[in-house]
Amino acid sequence: MNDLALAARNLLRNRRRSIATMLALAIGTAAILLFGGYSKNIDYSMQTAYVRTGGHLQIQHSDFFHFGSGDPTAYGISAYEKISEAIRKDSVLGPMVYVVTPILQFGGIAGNYSKGVSRTIAGLGLRAQDQRRMRDWDDFDLQLIFPPSPLERSQADAAIIGTGLARVLHLCEPLKLSDCPEGLQPGKAQGEALPDDIAQLSANEAAATAPTKSNTSNTIEVLASNSRGAPNVAAVQVIAAERQAFKELDEVYLSLHLPQAQRLIYGTETPKVTAIMVQLHHTADIPAAQARLPVVLSASSEGQRLSVLDFRTLYPFYVQSQLLFDMIFGFIYCLIGSIVLFTIGNTMNMAVVERTVEIGTLRSMGIRSSGIRRLFVVEGLLLGVAGAVVGLVCALLIGFIVNHLSLTWLPPGSANPLPLRLSILGEYRMILGTVSGLVVIATLSAWWPARRASRLIIVDALRHA
């Protein structure tokens, strides 16, 4: 009859109370794990979304991150093909890398002059095939399906815009967008001609991008300042509108083929890009890739001052969201931990009162006060382990059921509904942390009553009615 067996029998002495206490702990454990699983899933979903659109790492001009938004083209990277090739062929980076692709960010104004409207935009030149590959990335096996980009296999002057921008530019009807009100038509006469100078610039650009027939109903003009500060215009065919995560972005987003964007910004000069995106097979490889990239860049960047930034730096919203969920998780943990502390403490206190004579008897038989303390602490430990294990099993069961209900939800910062899943199974660190933490709390909560029991005066304990 060791301490563990005796403690187990003592717990079974008052089954209803022990089961109620254990259930309180089990519900607490399950609640923490379910929220943890939900929060993990949000983390993975957001990470997947960011990595699919922006890669794990971006190589940028050293000052681009801080100053580039004012004048992106001033911080262009030349020799980007050479750098990309060097990354792909590097013996260390090569096996880690999934996609390496350049992008060109620029600012400008998009105008639908036939409707008399224009809007400042955030433009993005990209390689559609690379983007499609990036959208396949699924390191966490979330099976999120992003629709293929309409830009792929489209004409050279094709563009995609945010649904908000489509609305502002009165392109809902030509793009056959639902849930996209046309609103009031501008007061000016419709179909007014482009200003002469803009029309001339546009015509020049149109000549350079041969296949386009301009002035169709979904043609817009994009005005941007080129690398020397002079204005340049390109007429582009809006082939689709895609909803962006935030309204602010949705109303300014425009993406087009990289060569088209480069012609608009650099004209006949040597084309540049503002970043090279590096998507790895696994997020866990980021530190290794970050350590290796400077070596590769020093050999291939032709002396340009470049920096490597990971997606956490590039997208502070991701980190802030993670911190928010971590804080909520910590708050819930503390709340449930306190409930466990008081529930088990109360149960053990009642046990001490009920077993006062028994404590006196055990002490008279020669058990040291530390032995009495150990006995009650072991009971708390057993309650903790039983409750945590039952809670874990419940959480896994509920997680399994929820994951098979095909529920979806629209998280903040996401344009598309995502599957509602609870990532519990496989999250061994979270499971171990939650279970062991609550077991420790349960054990500690038994410590104070156990101490009280161990300090009872033997003759008083034996006299206890």
Q: Where on the chain is the footprint of other proteins (CB under 8 A)?
A: 1-2, 6, 9-10, 12-13, 357-358, 360-371, 458-459, 462
Going through 364-464 in order, the beta strands assigned E by DSSP cover 408-409, 418-419
- Beta-strand pair 57-61/158-162: unpaired
Helix (H) or strand (E) holding 429: helix 428-454
What's the sign of the alpha-carbon dihedral 237, 242, 247, 253?
Answer: negative
Task: Specify the residue, 180 or 367, whose C-beta has the smaller distance to other proteins.
Answer: 367
Q: Which two tokens stand for residue 339?
A: 């409930």
Task: Specify the residue, 240 or 382, whose C-beta has the smaller distance to other proteins.
Answer: 382
Cβ neighbours for 387, distance < 8 A, ≥ 6 positions apart: 21, 22, 23, 24, 25, 26, 28, 29, 340, 438, 442
Task: Specify the residue, 118 or 369, whose C-beta has the smaller distance to other proteins.
Answer: 369
Task: Specify the residue, 12 or 425, whose C-beta has the smaller distance to other proteins.
Answer: 12
Place of tokens 């088209």: 260
Q: How far is the CB of 6 from other proteins (least distance, A)?
A: 7
Per-residue burial over 390-426, b if 16 or more Cβ lie within 10 Å, else e, is bbbebbbebbeebbeeeeeeebebbbeebbbbbbbee
Q: How far is the CB of 461 from other proteins (least distance, A)?
A: 9
Cβ neighbours for 406, distance < 8 A, ≥ 6 positions apart: 419
Task: Assess contact for 280 and 96: CB atoms under 8 A.
Answer: yes
Task: Specify the residue, 382 or 418, whose C-beta has the smaller distance to other proteins.
Answer: 382
Task: Specify the residue, 369 or 416, whose C-beta has the smaller distance to other proteins.
Answer: 369
The rounded Cα 311 to chain-centroid distance in angstroms is 10
Cβ neighbours for 168, distance < 8 A, ≥ 6 positions apart: 117, 119, 251
| Phi, psi dihedral angles at 350 (to 5 degrees) | -65, -40
Task: Specify the residue, 10 or 29, whose C-beta has the smaller distance to other proteins.
Answer: 10
Task: Specify the residue, 357 or 393, whose C-beta has the smaller distance to other proteins.
Answer: 357
